[in-house]
Each structure stands twice: as C-alpha cells, then as structure tokens.
Amino acid sequence: MNYPHYNPASDNRPLSDDELNELDDLLAELPADATMNIEALDGYLAALLLAPTPLPELPGEDWLPLIWGGDLSPEPAPFVSGKQRKKAVMLVLRHLHSIATAWAQHPNAWEPIFSQATDEDEQDYADAEDWSAGFLAGVALAPEAWGPWFEGGQTEEWLAPIVALGSVDGLLTNATLAERDAASRLIPDAMLAMWTWRQSQ
C-alpha cells in the first residue's frame, strides 16, 4: 500500500468534534492491539511535526500504519475495506495539518487532546499519559536523531514531562492525580516553545 506524504499545503481544516469522535471510534474498532487512541494519536502527530527530520521527507508508509498497529494481510486489513482505510488516512492527515496550522498561526488557541481523570471528590485532572506515550512512539521512529534533545539543555527540559508521563518506567507512573495533572499542564507551552525553536533551525 502506498500512502501519501505529508504536504503542508494540503487541507488543514480542523476536524470537528464529530469527526474526531468518528476517528477515535474507527481506530477503537480495529482488531489490532497496538492501535492508538485519539489521545496517543495527537501526541504521535505532534512528535512527527517536531522531529529532526522534516515530516514531508518521511514516506507515509513509514509512519501512518503504526497508528493502527501496522498493515496486515490480506489487504486492507486491519480495515474492513479500502474505503475505511482511506477515510482513516484522510482524517489523520487533516488532524496533522490542523495541529501544524494552529502552532504556526493560532498557538494560543491550540489544546492537545489529553485524557481526564476524576478522583473520589469528583475533581477533574488532566492526564497526558496516553498523549505522551504517543509522542514517544513518534520519537521511536528516529531515536538516534532525537537522542541529543533528551540529553541536556532546553530541549531536555521541554521533553521531561513527556518522558515522566509516557515512559513505561517514567517518574510519574505511580504519581498522584494532582502530580500527573501538574506535569501534563507543562506540555502545551513546552510544545509551542519547541515548535518556535524548530522553525529557527
């Protein structure tokens, strides 16, 4: 299967809430165990946009199938039809474009898609564990290129809450909801700062 490359000039209309739910439901219904949910997908796409290698240079087949746990045989598995697969690809690409456009044009309006957790007092907390795990899945596509950014300086500081929340053995794996909420709320500003920094490279 040949997948499209990312084209920054393509359709960047943000997905509506209904379309985001449609994409989340579509992915949730796939049989592959490694399929990302919408939170992980959002983090994965953020990592691709920030990656050391410009995303337009990365073939679509190198990163799109990972969203649904890889392509299976016979085609179009794990999708039930080629039409369903095309729908998923188009929704993913539109969401990707909308993140890039928001960062470039309306950064203060951008909000990552985090999970929400509730304690016994019905207090809501942001939890970016899935988002961060998705981001780190994007990093795993080019670990050597990303490596120096995790090893010191401002980039390590920006990425620290993602590692703490998204790694299997992260520092916040067993943290309280309040601690995870505090780390999660550091991520949006860190991503915007990193995006600005990347544009200057």
Instruction: Indicate left, alpha or beta for 157 from its phi (over 0: left) and psi (-120 to 50: alpha).
Output: alpha
Q: How many helices (H) and strands (E) does the chain have?
A: 9, 2
Segment 23-63, tens digit of pLDDT:
999 999 998 788 999 999 999 999 999 999 999 999 999 99
Whether 10 shows a pLDDT value over 90: the answer reads no
Res 201: pLDDT: 81
Whether 75 shows a pLDDT value over 90: the answer reads no
C-alpha–C-alpha distance, residues 11 and 53, integer Å: 22
List, in order of start, the domains of the chain with CATH numbers. Answer: 17-199 (1.20.120.740)
C-alpha–C-alpha distance, residues 35 and 86, integer Å: 16
Selected residue with higher pLDDT from 19 and 121: 19
C-alpha–C-alpha distance, residues 166 and 181, integer Å: 13
